[in-house]
Amino acid sequence: MLIRGLQRATDERAHADAANATAPDDAQETIFDKILRREIPARVRRDGLTQLALAEERHEPILGHLLYAAKRVAREQQLDRGFRIVINDGLDGCQSVFHLHVHLLGGRTLGWPPG
């Protein structure tokens, strides 16, 4: 599980702008690059879906699996009082890692509205 401290929305936007200014292949290496090179064990599904806005009906099974996997991680992390799932999608959504993934937030009361 990857854990990063919560950041202000302006920080997230700056991070996304910087990431979007470079091609995904030229971006700074992330843990996901290590997973793809099999340096870190993982089950990887390669269907090329980079953001939710680009999903098609054929992606429905993997999207359902993604949400169910998040639920399993929440249970493993003992987030039984509740959690939030976030998908950063596109530039205005502050997406800075160019594959579809979820952020699982929990362990404390989360405010609304977010960001």
Q: Which of 15, 99, 101, 103 is catalytic?
A: 101
Residue 16, Cβ neighbours under 10 Å: how many?
Answer: 19
Is there a catalytic annotation at residue 101? yes
DSSP E strand stretches across 36-91: 83-86
Q: Which residues contact 30 (CB under 8 A, 6 or more apart)?
A: 97
Known catalytic residues are: 101
